[in-house]
Amino acid sequence: MDDRTTTRKATVDPVGVPVVLAESAHPPMRTEAWHLQTTAANEFWDFTDPVRQAVRRAGVRHGQVTVYSPHTTTSLVVNESETGFLNDFRKLLGEMVPEDVYYEHDDHELRTENLQEDEYVNGHAHCRQLLVGQPSVTVPIVDGEVLLGRWQRILFVELDQARERRVFIHAQGI
């Protein structure tokens, strides 16, 4: 088998019902929490449609929407959701920040901070997060529409391993 990936859809679509954390009508504002179970490292979830739906539910005509992940080994990015590109990017991440090299973060003989009992070996995922993006993206809303370019999508990126995650969508404005 060659290096090409046979997967022809490189993103996962969130399904389910978000949990409403806060909501007001005047001014219009809504905060939703999405709970998801990722299945692999370097997995991309397309949150564009849930973001647009949250903006509609909020009733925001002019303002902004922020999408945020409270995890240190995930990122949110705005980019194209094209399978070849995302597969190329996965390969690039593996080459730039390989999993099978030494990371001081994973050396529990040296590390003394922020340890937990069931600690993952994930120094590579923390390094990848700093290279890939940020924990949040904010996009303007004008006339009730999320202002994204023609090919832009809002993507959640799992950089660690399969695990439970949360994504928050907060729309506010007038």
In this structure, are residues 100 and 158 in contact, taking their beta carbons and an 8 Å threshold? no
Give pTM, 2 decimals. 0.90
User: Domain spanning 25-108+119-173: which CATH class is it, in words?
Assistant: mainly beta
Both tokens of 117, joined, read: 């009992």
Residues 6 or more apart in contact with residue 97 via CB below 8 angstroms = 124, 127, 128, 131
- Residue 8: the pLDDT is 64
- Count CB neighbours of 167 within 10 A: 25
CB 6 within 8 A of CB 83: no
Give the model confidence (pLDDT) of 32-69 as tens digits: 999 999 999 999 999 999 999 999 999 999 999 999 99
Top pLDDT among 16 and 75 is at 75
